[in-house]
Homo-oligomer: A and B are copies of this chain.
Amino acid sequence: MLPPHLKSLIEKLSSLPDTGPRAATRTALFLLSKPEQELRELAGLISGLKTNIKTCPDCFNLSDGNSCAICRDSRRDKSVICVIENILNLIPLEKTGRYNGLYHVLGGLISPMDKISPENIRIEELVRRVKKSAGETREVILALNPTVEGDTTALYIERELSPFKIKITRLARGLSTGNSLEYADEITLSNALTGRK
């Protein structure tokens, strides 16, 4: 009932995150209504992704060449490394404008359920990086999700980094801004109490 070319496109689009067949159909028809030039631009950006985007060999953030824009930036504080699960976590941290150090992208969290063990994420690379910095690294901030996987990973990293003389910190836990105290769960509330100041 739909032309085969459109069917193939809808099928491909359906495999994108948060996109069911209905949304994929809507997107395909939307694209069909766009001028040729725009479609060619989008297609070019998609097909050129792999060639134009590399991984930073130091922090594993995305980069367009060798070191990423953050590692290259001479104004950033090279003595602090913020450990994050993935690149999606880097964006909100940068948006706060309150962090001026470097990052280390783990590429996942330890999760026995999902068969992700410490060797599958970039913990060894972090340890090597701290070692190589020969005392330049003063602090490692573990900015991981407040979940079982995040806590497990944080504990593991803390242990691995214990031989080095560096400060290891975690993001504060407490009430989220705008959330009502009435609806905060017990753990959040007890964290908020413990961390009171």
Contact of A25 among B44, B70, B91 (CB under 8 A): B91
Give A68 Cβ to nearest chain B Cβ, in Å. 8
**Chain A 59-72 interface mask (CB, 8 Å, partner B; 1/0):** 00011100011100
Indicate if the CB atoms of A5 and B49 lie closer than 8 Å. yes
Copies in the complex: 2
- Count of chain A residues near B, Cβ 8 A: 50
Indicate if the CB atoms of B12 and A18 lie closer than 8 Å. no
Confirm or deny: A184 has a beta carbon within 8 angstroms of a beta carbon on chain B. no
Indicate if the CB atoms of A49 and B25 lie closer than 8 Å. no
Give A93 Cβ to nearest chain B Cβ, in Å. 10
Q: Which residues of B contact A44 (CB under 8 A)?
A: 43, 47
Contact of A43 among B6, B19, B29, B47 (CB under 8 A): B47
- Name the prevailing secondary structure of the A interface residues: helix
Confirm or deny: A8 has a beta carbon within 8 angstroms of a beta carbon on chain B. yes
Q: Which residues of B contact A41 (CB under 8 A)?
A: 12
Indicate if the CB atoms of A23 and B27 lie closer than 8 Å. no
Cα(A23)–Cα(B50), bound, Å: 20
Interface centre among A2, A6, A30, A36 (most CB of B within 10 A): A2
With A16-B27, A30-B17, A69-B1 as known contacts, state yes or no: A8 contacts B45, CB within 8 Å: yes
Confirm or deny: A112 has a beta carbon within 8 angstroms of a beta carbon on chain B. no
Interface centre among A3, A12, A19, A50 (most CB of B within 10 A): A3
Task: List CB contacts (< 8 Å) of A35-61 with chain B.
Answer: 36, 39-50, 52-53
Indicate if the CB atoms of B29 and A16 lie closer than 8 Å. no
Give the top 6 A-B pairs by smallest Cβ distance, nearest first. Answer: A43-B47, A43-B43, A3-B64, A5-B52, A9-B45, A43-B46
**Can you report 8 residue pairs joining A to B where beta carbons are below 8 Å apart?**
A1-B70, A2-B62, A2-B91, A5-B53, A8-B45, A32-B49, A42-B47, A43-B43
